[in-house]
Amino acid sequence: MTKRFPPPPLQDAPLAGARPSIDARTLLALRKSANKLVLCDPGPTESEIDELLIVAARVPDHRKLGPWRFVVLEGDARKTFGVSLGQILRARGSAQAQIEEAEKSMIRAPVVVAVISSPVDDGRTPVWEQELSAGAVCYNLLLAANASGWAGVWLTEWMAYDAEAGALLGLRGGERVAGFVHLGTARASTPERVRAAVPERTARWTAP
Ligand SMILES: Cc1cc2nc3c(=O)[nH]c(=O)nc-3n(C[C@H](O)[C@H](O)[C@H](O)COP(=O)(O)O)c2cc1C
């Protein structure tokens, strides 16, 4: 198996607090999600996904709770999941076009990783912080995938907020879908979009 990342450091190994890298800076400055309609084969293999997830989970995580988990949709399971989503909509009398879109929703990309926010009730760590950590996992997964040559996009769509779809995915009490991260190869580039004006959103605090 081709290892794309260095092995995880041993516990208590001294690690640098900064790691200057022009490649990393370029990745961050130019990163772009792919349009969900341009993702195609190939995607990461099972072992490559496993490796990506280990790197993706290397996020800030207050009190080391690991308040997230992954459900990987790959191969035929993607189609089966989509067909079941279509059945959920059919039972509700949804329009045929919506049903068909749901059926195809997980086969748009070769791999879809559902990142599940799974907060732990330790009596002191706010759920908000744990959910933020799950968001960091989604973004870190995208970056790790991009750095490995895969294009991707973080989606939620209706199925992330639907109780029946959540049950189909296997969500347990208190869990939520942080994102369906679609990964694959981009068959076309995606144009840059308007970016939020950061200076307008930046203040320097002064005493009131
Ligand atoms: C939590 C979250 C959920 C999102 N869900 C969707 C979605 O359902 N559909 C969609 O088109 N974009 C969605 N997006 C936006 C895309 O992930 C992406 O940010 C956007 O297409 C712009 O691309 P960029 O990452 O290059 O800025 C979501 C973003 C976030 C952070």
3-state secondary structure of 180: strand
CA–CA separation, 112 vs 148, rounded Å? Answer: 16
198 assigned to some structural domain = no
What is the structure's pLDDT at 1? Answer: 39
What is the structure's pLDDT at 4? Answer: 87
| Enclosing domain of residue 60 | 33-75+108-187
CA–CA separation, 84 vs 102, rounded Å? Answer: 9
Does the beta carbon of 176 lie inside 6 Å of ligand 1? no
192 assigned to some structural domain = no
CATH code of the domain covering residue 52: 3.40.109.10
129 assigned to some structural domain = yes
Which of ligand 1's atoms lies nearest the C-alpha of 142?
25
Does the beta carbon of 33 lie inside 6 Å of ligand 1? yes
175 assigned to some structural domain = yes
- Do residues 47 and 1 make contact, with C-beta atoms less than 8 angstroms apart? yes
Cα distances (angstroms) measured from residue 148 to each of 69, 116, 125, 144: 21, 23, 33, 6
Identify the CA nearest to 33 among candidates 109, 131, 88. Answer: 109
CA–CA separation, 65 vs 95, rounded Å? Answer: 42
Does the beta carbon of 131 lie inside 6 Å of ligand 1? no
Which residue's CA is minimally distant from atom 31 of ligand 1? 154
84 assigned to some structural domain = no
Interval between CA 25 and ligand 1 midpoint (Å): 22
What are the residues whose beta carbons fall under 8 Å from the beta carbon of 96, sequence distance 6 or more? Answer: none
- Do residues 22 and 166 make contact, with C-beta atoms less than 8 angstroms apart? no
CB neighbour class for 89 (10 Å; exposed up to 12, middle 13-18, buried from 19): buried
What is the structure's pLDDT at 61? Answer: 98
Interval between CA 33 and ligand 1 midpoint (Å): 8
4 assigned to some structural domain = no
Which of 116, 156, 177 for a ligand 1 pocket mutation test, highest count of atoms within 8 Å of Cβ?
Answer: 156
What are the residues whose beta carbons fall under 8 Å from the beta carbon of 70, sequence distance 6 or more? Answer: 53, 113, 114, 115, 116
Interval between CA 12 and ligand 1 midpoint (Å): 36
Task: Give the number of domains in the chain.
Answer: 1
Does the beta carbon of 152 lie inside 6 Å of ligand 1? no
b/e per residue 151-190 (b: at least 16 CB within 10 A): bbbbbebebbebeebbebbebeeebbbbbbbbbbbbeeee
- Residue type for position 63: R
172 assigned to some structural domain = yes
Query: For the chain (length 208 residues), average pLDDT per consecutive 10?
Result: 80 96 98 97 97 98 98 98 98 98 98 98 98 98 97 98 98 98 96 97 98
Does the beta carbon of 179 lie inside 6 Å of ligand 1? yes
What is the structure's pLDDT at 122? Answer: 97
CA–CA separation, 42 vs 133, rounded Å? Answer: 29
What is the structure's pLDDT at 3? Answer: 64
114 assigned to some structural domain = yes
